[in-house]
Amino acid sequence: MSRGNARQDIFRSDDDRKLFLFLLSDLSERYETEIYAYVLMNNHYHLLLKTKHANLSKAMQWFGTTYTRKFNLINLTSGHLFQGRFKSIIVENDAYLLRLSCYIHRNPLKAGIVQKLSDYPWSSYRFYAYKKKPPEWLNIKTILNQVSGQDRHRAYRTKVRQYSDEQGSVMDDIKHGLIYGSEKFIETIKNRFLKDTKEPELPQHNRLYKAFDPEALLQRASKMLDFDLETAICAKKISAQDKEKRDLLVYWIWKTGRLSNQEIGTNFGLTYSAVSKIVSQFSDRQLIKRRVEATLNRLNSQFKV
């Protein structure tokens, strides 16, 4: 979760909220995250997600920076939008996910914004409680599988209502400010990760990124596309065909989430803004999406990034 700087609103209009959800779709694809639940409040948000790689910090840094930049452009503002680093907790398993989703979805009711949760359009509740089709990037099956009954959507509504009658709350049960689960799970996490180090990232994460060599990777990927990257960097002008291949490589390496736009630009001899423009153009190319995706799939199958 994250709050607005000095508790300011991070959503000023429905356009801001739509932008936020659009970027969640990008987050899910680019950083390979599974998103289970969300709620957008006026001055903060909650997300329930799972990372497939040790990249939560990098993913959320990209998400916060991108949303802030676009928010400032839309609202003619400037400066920091969020209050420092996002806050995160580790959740043990699917059973705990269910209770946490109830907590997240009840936020608008708890804040007095609505009298019925079904009236609030800016959360994932309606996809769970009713048979509204979720977006492709939202995984509702994992949590719905934790409730029993012929109609799991109705059962979920009942579970959310029951949650208000339970003693205590999720926040009261979170230990050390970052772990939600059984006592055994809490002790395991404490012993493995909280004993002798104050580093926010896991050691595996650091080793993973040290082993990543973008220059060597791009050289191999360029060869597969029959494209001379070094010549393209040095040339004042390149052919339309080479430009297409270069831009696709830019987009592909951007989608891995491993490099910032500035770092990508360094590897291609491009400016930060040029990289941003290329990424935006490829994201909007609906007409040639199949051809682009086919090439991206070839790159992904050949090179594990």
Residue indicated by tokens 């799970």: 185
Contact 102, 159 (CB under 8 A): yes
Q: Helix count (H) and strand count (E) of the chain?
A: 16, 5
Residue indicated by tokens 């928010």: 71
Residue 231, pLDDT score:
81
The CATH number for 2-193, chosen from 3.50.50.60, 3.30.450.20, 2.60.120.620, 3.30.70.1290, is 3.30.70.1290
Architecture of domain 212-302: Orthogonal Bundle (1.10)
Residue 134, pLDDT score:
95
CA distance linking residue 120 with residue 134, whole number of Å? 15
Residue 195, pLDDT score:
55
CA distance linking residue 93 with residue 286, whole number of Å? 37
Residue 167, pLDDT score:
44
Question: Could you say which DSSP state residue 175 is in?
Answer: B
Residues of the chain with CATH 3.30.70.1290: 2-193
Residue 68, pLDDT score:
95
Residue 27, pLDDT score:
94
Residues of the chain with CATH 1.10.1750.10: 212-302
Per-residue pLDDT of the chain (305 residues; tens, 9 = 90+): 999 998 899 999 999 999 999 999 999 999 999 999 999 999 999 999 999 888 899 999 999 999 999 999 999 999 999 988 888 888 887 778 898 999 999 999 989 999 999 999 999 999 999 989 999 999 999 999 989 888 999 999 999 988 775 545 666 666 556 777 777 887 777 777 765 544 544 444 444 444 567 888 888 888 888 888 888 888 778 888 888 888 888 888 887 777 778 888 888 888 888 888 888 777 665 545 666 777 777 777 777 65
